[in-house]
Structure 1
Amino acid sequence: MKKNIAIIMGGYSSEYKISLKSGNVVFETLDASKYNAYRIHIFKDKWVYVDVNDAEFPIDKNDFSVTVKNKKITFDCVFNAIHGSPGEDGFMQGYFELINMPHTSCGMYQATLTYNKRDCLSTLKPYGIKTAESFYINLGDIINEDAIITKVGLPCFVKANKAGSSFGITKVHKKEDLKNAIDIAFKEDDEIIIESFLDGTEVSVGVISYKGETKVLPITEIVTENDFFDYEAKYLGKSQEITPARLSKEQKEKVNTVAKKVYEILKMKGFSRSEYIFKNGEPHLLEVNTIPGLTRESILPQQAAAANISLTKLFDNAIEEALR
């Protein structure tokens, strides 16, 4: 008997368009002999099932069911393809765990922690995970530009603390540009993290739960045409993503060990993709993404392909792991 799979996509953040693309790839790729796939759009003003004719049917939030032509449809599992809030920051995970609904993403605590860059990095530092020097600001704080530059130096990165896809991030080269960069970041979030510039090879490492074990996927090297790996570089073709990365055996072993350690320290499950920059031969963690892009061009699917895992197998495994 085929299982009913709800693919949630959209969300409340600036990443909703990317999420819709990811969700539709999952919808088109799931093994139709095993699953009945349903596209569920999650927006602030509506939670709806969208059928093949783009007709919309409201979701009953009491049990996450939908009624179509007087027939109630319930789901065996949720495939989470929401980048940003509320799919990547713990809210949907908490809801699904309350109603006892299996889902493909990590747990509520892990999602909340990893979505908050500065809390995640602070949690991992005592375990010896290397990171950039950082400075934190909350909305309403007095901004002391000299103190910031003394701590992190120039150039530096100003980032919205809880945002993805490089929304709200600016590379600052001069002190006089710092205030504007902070204003841009505050448009995305009320918390900011300012980090020192790490000059070295940037890599992205996918770690997933695969057939009951933690699996590190082939590493991707990021070579951007822009000043850093920003939105244009990620989504508009302004970068090279080289899989497998051009790393020495020692570099590869180091970053694989660190990435697996981070996944297991945080007690993760499902998908993850972490970004690292090598400084003095050591990988420094930038951030952990728990709902990475799942389009055919996205980094994690590229890495899975390099490991001879097709999208169909990748998505099927995610559901099997959630139901395990």
Structure 2
Amino acid sequence: MGGYSSEFDISIQSGNVVYKNLDRDVYNPYKIHITNEGWYYVNDENQKYSVDKNDFSVTLNGTKINFDAAFNTVHGTPGEDGLLQAYFKLIEIPQTSCDFYQAALTFNKRDCISTLKPYGIPTATNYFLNKGDAIDTKAILNTVGLPCFVKANKAGSSYGVSKVKTEEELFPAIEVAYKEDDEIIIESFLSGTEVSVGVIQHNGKDLVLPITEIVTENEFFDYEAKYLGKSEEITPARLSDEDTKKVKDLALRVYQILKMKGFSRSEYIFHNGEPHFVEMNTNPGLSEASILPQQANKTGISLKELFSNAIEACLHS
């Protein structure tokens, strides 16, 4: 848990929930904090012990502890962008998230959209910028129109995201996004019901969880809406049977096109009656209030079962 991004505190919350809900009759969990200062095992008394990155081990009272698996709850870098996945692959420790290529691909919103488009997956109209590129506001708005969204390409929890309604707001929004990443994605506004769809591997099969409808008090599903109670999350979503099937089928197809495994939570907006893919999170929030655990609960899957299943899947994959 932890990480090097703005999502550090949210990741700690997720990690603590997993730690609390793991079945102690089966597992002996250790809390590992990934921080900018170092990697540490943190015990229940909040004492810290350094992790040996050579083999991801901890020495306690002269005894070396080697781990059987890593439950990855790091949001953002290095846990959601492929770096930790590749590290664990190299040192041959199973981990609960997707593989490193899938993590890197989905964390990069631009590359993910570009991969899905040839498969006919509907998305917003996009305009891409790299830091240092000339900013031609006319060309941007001719492509995506107004209103539009400006997003940091590789960031989560809605950091670096702005809704732009006028040409004058575009440049400041780009500056905000560049504080999070040196790549930007600018998207046309999709008007319609927003839903969040969890897809997981459960008992060896890909399972689409009940859909959550996002109703935000703010302009969009931003940080306040996600974490400070400025939104209503309705599970199951208030969709017709036809629309429910449409978005479930699309979410499963996206999961399988990308060769995902483990947990995922994708966002879709019904625009002109059709669900459009927005983005995928491969290490979604796992606190009690987070969307994916809410969805699992509606299916009758407890947190203990949800987390145990993820560990068993990675151990036997």
**Structure 1 residue identity aligned to 2:130:** N
**Structure 2 residue identity aligned to 1:207:** V
In structure 2, distance between residues paired with 1:243 and 1:16: 27
Matched, 1:179 2:171: yes
Per-residue CA distance 1:197-252 (angstroms, 9 max, x = gap): 00100000000011110000000000000010000000000000000000011101
**Structure 1 residue identity aligned to 2:150:** V
Aligned to 1:309: 301
TM-score under structure 1 normalisation?
0.97
In structure 1, distance between residues paired with 2:275 and 2:103: 23
In structure 2, distance between residues paired with 1:266 and 1:176: 37
**Structure 2 residue identity aligned to 1:162:** K
**Structure 2 residue identity aligned to 1:168:** G
The equivalent position to 2:131 in structure 1, one of 113, 117, 139, is 139
**Aligned 1:223-302 pairs, distance under 5 A:** 223-302=215-294
Per-residue CA distance 1:57-107 (angstroms, 9 max, x = gap): 111111100000001101011000000000000000000000110000000
In structure 2, distance between residues paired with 1:10 and 1:147: 39
**Structure 2 residue identity aligned to 1:52:** D
**Aligned 1:4-83 pairs, distance under 5 A:** 9-83=1-75
Aligned to 1:3: none
Per-residue CA distance 1:291-320 (angstroms, 9 max, x = gap): 000000000000000110000000000001
Following TM superposition, where does structure 1 have runs of at least 4 consecutive aligned residues deviating by more than 3 angstroms?
none
**Structure 1 residue identity aligned to 2:14:** S
In structure 2, distance between residues paired with 1:197 and 1:305: 32
Query: Secondary structure of the residue that 1:36 maps to in structure 2?
Result: coil
Query: Secondary structure of the residue that 1:10 maps to in structure 2?
Result: coil
In structure 1, distance between residues paired with 2:186 and 2:260: 26
**Structure 2 residue identity aligned to 1:38:** Y
- The CA deviation at 1:281 is 1.3
Cα RMSD over matched residues?
A: 0.4
Per-residue CA distance 1:116-157 (angstroms, 9 max, x = gap): 001000000001100000100000000000000000000000
The equivalent position to 1:320 in structure 2, one of 292, 312, 316, is 312
**Structure 1 residue identity aligned to 2:149:** F
Query: Secondary structure of the residue that 2:67 maps to in structure 1?
Result: coil
In structure 1, distance between residues paired with 2:37 and 2:116: 36
In structure 2, distance between residues paired with 1:141 and 1:45: 33
In structure 1, distance between residues paired with 2:119 and 2:240: 24
In structure 1, distance between residues paired with 2:111 and 2:250: 18
In structure 1, distance between residues paired with 2:290 and 2:110: 25
Per-residue CA distance 1:169-214 (angstroms, 9 max, x = gap): 0000010010000000000000000000001000000000111100
**Aligned 1:164-175 pairs, distance under 5 A:** 164-175=156-167
TM-score under structure 2 normalisation?
0.99
**Structure 2 residue identity aligned to 1:120:** C
Query: Secondary structure of the residue that 2:117 maps to in structure 1?
Result: helix
Aligned to 1:5: none
In structure 1, distance between residues paired with 2:234 and 2:223: 18
Structure 1, gaps ≥5 residues long: 1-8
- The CA deviation at 1:264 is 0.5
In structure 2, distance between residues paired with 1:95 and 1:45: 18
In structure 2, distance between residues paired with 1:236 and 1:121: 29
The equivalent position to 2:152 in structure 1, one of 160, 184, 194, is 160
**Structure 2 residue identity aligned to 1:185:** A
In structure 2, distance between residues paired with 1:293 and 1:202: 18
In structure 1, distance between residues paired with 2:307 and 2:40: 22
Identity percentage of aligned residues: 65
Aligned length: 316
- The CA deviation at 1:44 is 2.2
